[in-house]
Amino acid sequence: MKIRFRVLTSVIALSICLTGLAFAYQINFGALMEDTVFEENVSFGAMRRSTLSRRPIQIPKAYGRLITITTSNAGTTLWFESQEGLIRNVNLDGAVPLVIERRGELN
């Protein structure tokens, strides 16, 4: 009975920890999306300044080169071709401004 209680307690504690991580990061079809915001200052002269908020995402370099971008009502899809000839897609919400970082590895 004690072992079962410890296992149950460990599972609950692990699920709470993972839930906390899920709020910070979300993996969406190959892209790691963060809940942080990247602030970008844009200037078109002294009187025309603006601050843009963008959501940072990470896409592994191993996905290869970007070969095309397609759009639909559901969102935007980035298509990558690796050196081995594999075609991968990353689905994005086209209405959200992004900053894309190419880092991370495939396992």
pLDDT computed for residue 18 by the predictor = 41
Element (H, E) at 56: strand 49-59
pLDDT computed for residue 106 by the predictor = 65
Q: What's the distance, Cα to Cα, between the start and end of the chain in Å?
A: 38
Residue-by-residue pLDDT tens, the chain, 107 positions: 555 545 444 444 444 444 443 434 455 556 777 777 878 888 888 888 888 888 888 888 888 999 999 998 888 889 999 999 999 988 888 778 888 888 766 66
